[in-house]
Every structure is written in structure tokens, then in C-alpha cells.
Structure 1
Amino acid sequence: MCGRFALTARPDQTAAFLGLDEVEEFPARYNIAPTQPVLLAIAAPPRGLGSNLPDRRTQLVRWGLIPGWAKNPGDLPLLFNARSETAAEKASFKAPMRHRRALIPASGFYEWKRIGTKQSQPYWVRPKAGGLVAFAALMETWTEPGGSEIDTGAILTTNANPEFAQIHDRMPIVIRQEDFSRWLDCRFQEPRDVADLLRPADPGFFEAVPVSDKVNKFANTGPEIQERVEPVMAMAAEKAKKAAEPKPDQLTLF
């Protein structure tokens, strides 16, 4: 799954990555959580023949998809992720999978590895080569009873590759730059035509950096939450080792 991510690139860097002249202003954010605004790219309306305008545009949406048919979003779970294997058939995602596929640019994401029953180790997962990635996403516009509209989105996930599965069994889908146009083209590309893009990242694409549990609180938004720390297991082992060592003033029989 993907429950937190970051986008810390400058707007001009994000625009260049998405193949646009500019994007909406989006300050560096180190700990983006569900229900918060996220930057999303979607196909632009059809252009006239010979147009030099880009085939995509960006906008801010609420992270947490609300299906268009929902009467009361409070009755639904928070749909910030969508399983790619079933998105084309699920009532909540079927329409946007067919008509509103999108991209969410990111500098990386966070994932938690369970350790025993009470502890977990958070990791900052970023592209090993640096730069940005684009998560496969879906967009939906929900109309409130009063008539106002809310644009919402969700990130598509898939089974983790063998390397990442040591941390979690799911991971967000990354769309490569050369596949942006095909993924976003909902006029001529049906879900079955882009199903080959719904795969885990290649082993070695990401690197996972152990970080502190500061990331657990979405109020912590500074770059320090991405600083490397000793993993929980290593800290526990070191603590146990020190506890077993005899104290300087402790007598020994051996």
C-alpha cells in the first residue's frame, strides 16, 4: 500500500518531469497524508489538429477517492489506494479506471515493516537513481448535495517485487515517462490496453532508508523525518547486548 509520500522537487522540476511548461504551485512537502491536497496530472481536453499544446494538465485533488455515485462519503472507507488487479471491475474504481486515469508525481513514499506484534519500522523509499517518480492514479469528481464539486484521487498498488516484499506485500505502481501518454489516454486506450503497465517496479529501482517514527505523525512535515536511523531491530539487538554485558563494578565468577 501507500499511505504517505513526499514531493519535494521544485515546481519547474516537476513540470519538466511531467512534460509540461509549468505546474500549479506546490511547495515542498515531506509527509503527505490521505485527505490532504495532492498534485495530479490527467489528460487535457482534446486539442485541434496541429496543436502544440501538451496532452496533459495538472490540478490539485483530495487524496482519497470518493466515487461519483456516493451519497455520503462518511459511509465509505477512505479510498486512498486502489488494488490494480481489481480496479477495472470494482464499483468504486471502474469509471475512473476507464475514463480518468492519472499520474501523481512523487519524490518517494513511506512504508512500515511490521516487527513482532507491537512494533514497526518506517522506511523512506526513494528512487535509487534520484529524481521523481509518477504513481499510477485514478481521479474522480464528487458532487456534494449542495452542488459544489470535489476532485479526488487514489494511488494504484500491486503486489510487491521480491526485494520490497521484505518490507510490505504491496507497493505503488510506477509509470515510466515513456508510458505517460499511453496511460493517460482514456479516449483510445481501454483498461485492458494498459494492463501491462500495472506491474511492480523492477528490483533495484527503489532504495529503502530506515527512518524514525516521526513520520507517523502527519504534523511532522520537515526534512528531518527522512534522515536515516538505526533500524528498530538493530537498536533492540544492541540494547540487549549492552544489557547482557557485565557492569564495571560487577564481580564475575569466570
Structure 2
Amino acid sequence: MSIIGPRRNLRARYNIAPTTTVEAVRQGEEGREIVPMRWGLVPMWWKKPLKSVPATFNARAETVAEKPMFRDAFKKRRCIIPASGFYEWTGEKGDKQPHLFTAADDAPVLAIAGLWDRWSDPDGEQMLSCTMVVTEPSDWMEPYHDRMPVILDGKQIDAWLDGSAGTEILKPAEESALKEFPVSKRVNKVGNDDDPTLIEEAA
């Protein structure tokens, strides 16, 4: 993906939680740009306090075009959320085992389909926010979770960002596209995002 503007080295982060800031790629007037956004979409029309927003860090592919929280962004404000991988958990409550999912071919970035919006608080301060689109899991993914992020391939990115593609591309990734391995349970501690050993394979 080509991005306008000066090159930036983004800080490596290893355990990002909802409502914190992520980087998203959107289509600007002069080209694609990478912009920091709150992970957890707040629609433009939201009138209640920010703390009252429900969990909007994921948007279901099956309903994203109709749900009031997401439908306007689906029509007009799409983005890509780049990530080197994502976590899912197995096991019983209190003893959850995190698993890291990355590209099977070791590509450095997965292009996750997303939506973004711009919200203003009562004082007029503006905030950008985004959500990841999730879909039903592939057969391979199902033992780990009943949903998975929509990962777009290079041929789908243009059509997603310019709005010409619809929900027909919001499908689970091919089973050969991802690989998985268990990682440290220290991932379960929210806020611990600066430790690169978190993504090392656990014994």
C-alpha cells in the first residue's frame, strides 16, 4: 500500500487493547494516509457520553451494512487496520491460553478490513475512531474462536477503500493464509504492550 506524506516509524506494540489508539489507513483527498484512531468506533451521531458507547471494536460482516452503529461508515468511511498479527484464547476462565495468529508466509502485515468515523464531544473536540470487521471463522479457525478478522488480500484493498466492494468480500481468510502458535499468558494482562517477548512461541 502506498501512503502519502513523510515516512514514519510506528512504535512497535505487542498487546493492544480496545479503546486504545491504533493506526489506520484511510483514503484521503490526496491519497491514502495513515491516521491514529481510537479502537472502538463512535458514530458521528452519538449524543451520549463517550463512556456510554457499547463495545464497538468489532463489526459483524453479516450486519455491518444495516446496523445503525456501522452502516453510514460502511457506505462512506472505510479503512484498513494494519497488524502483524492478532490474538485469540482457548481454555477455561481464569486460565486462558493466548494464541498468536500471523501470516503463514511471514508477511509483516495483515490488512484487516475496518471502518472509521469522526465524533465531536459536547465541547466540540473531535475524535477519530475505528472498528475491525469480523466474520465467521474458517474450519481451521473455529477451535480457537467463533469469529475472525476479515483479512483482505492485495487485490481487494482498492475496492474496499473506494467503496466499490460490498459485503461479498468480507469472508474468512483461506486456511493456508495464517499460522498459529501459543504465546505467554502475560498477554492476558491489559496494558503490557511494550514487551517483544510476548509474541515468542511459548514452551
Structure 1 partner of 2:56 = 79
Unaligned runs of 5+ in 1: 1-17, 48-54, 231-254
TM-score of the superposed pair, with normalisation by structure 1: 0.74
Please say which structure displays the higher CA radius of gyration: 1
Structure 2 partner of 1:57 = 33
Structure 1 partner of 2:45 = 69
2:86–2:102: 8 Å Cα contact kept in structure 1?
A: yes
1:200-215 correspondence runs (5 A): 200-215=172-187
Quick one: structure 1 residues 23 and 184, their matched pair in 2 at CA, closer, same or farther if it must change by over 3 Å?
farther
Q: How many percent identity over aligned positions? A: 34
2:23–2:36: 8 Å Cα contact kept in structure 1?
A: yes
Distance of 1:26 and 1:117 partners within structure 2: 34
Superposition deviation, residue 78 in structure 1: 2.6
Distance of 1:25 and 1:143 partners within structure 2: 29
Distance of 1:116 and 1:149 partners within structure 2: 40
2:102–2:179: 8 Å Cα contact kept in structure 1?
A: yes
1:227 aligns with 2:200: yes
Q: Deviation digits for residues 34-69 of structure 1, max 9, x if unmatched?
A: 111111111121x5xxxxxxx321111111111111
Unaligned runs of 5+ in 2: none
TM-score of the superposed pair, with normalisation by structure 2: 0.92
Distance of 1:38 and 1:219 partners within structure 2: 14
Structure 2 partner of 1:151 = 128
Structure 1 partner of 2:103 = 127
Structure 1 partner of 2:3 = 20
2:16–2:191: 8 Å Cα contact kept in structure 1?
A: no
Quick one: structure 1 residues 25 and 142, their matched pair in 2 at CA, closer, same or farther if it must change by over 3 Å?
farther
The answer to which structure, 1 or 2, has the higher relative contact order (CA under 8 A, 6+ apart) is 2
1:95-174 correspondence runs (5 A): 95-113=72-90, 115-116=91-92, 118-131=94-107, 132-174=109-151
- What do you get for the CA RMSD once the two structures are aligned? 1.6
Distance of 1:106 and 1:116 partners within structure 2: 27
Q: Deviation digits for residues 184-222 of structure 1, max 9, x if unmatched?
A: 003xx2xxx422210000012111110121001133221
Structure 2 partner of 1:197 = 169
Q: Deviation digits for residues 127-169 of structure 1, max 9, x if unmatched?
A: 1111211100000100111111000000000000000111111
- 2:132 is paired with a residue whose SS is strand
For these two proteins, the number of residue pairs brought into alignment is: 199
Q: What letter matches 2:192 in structure 1?
A: N
Q: Deviation digits for residues 207-246 of structure 1, max 9, x if unmatched?
A: 111012100113322111112124xxxxxxxxxxxxxxxx
Distance of 1:20 and 1:75 partners within structure 2: 34
Superposition deviation, residue 26 in structure 1: 1.6
Structure 1 partner of 2:66 = 89
Q: What letter matches 1:223 in structure 2?
A: P
Distance of 1:42 and 1:24 partners within structure 2: 16
1:68–1:143: 8 Å Cα contact kept in structure 2?
A: yes
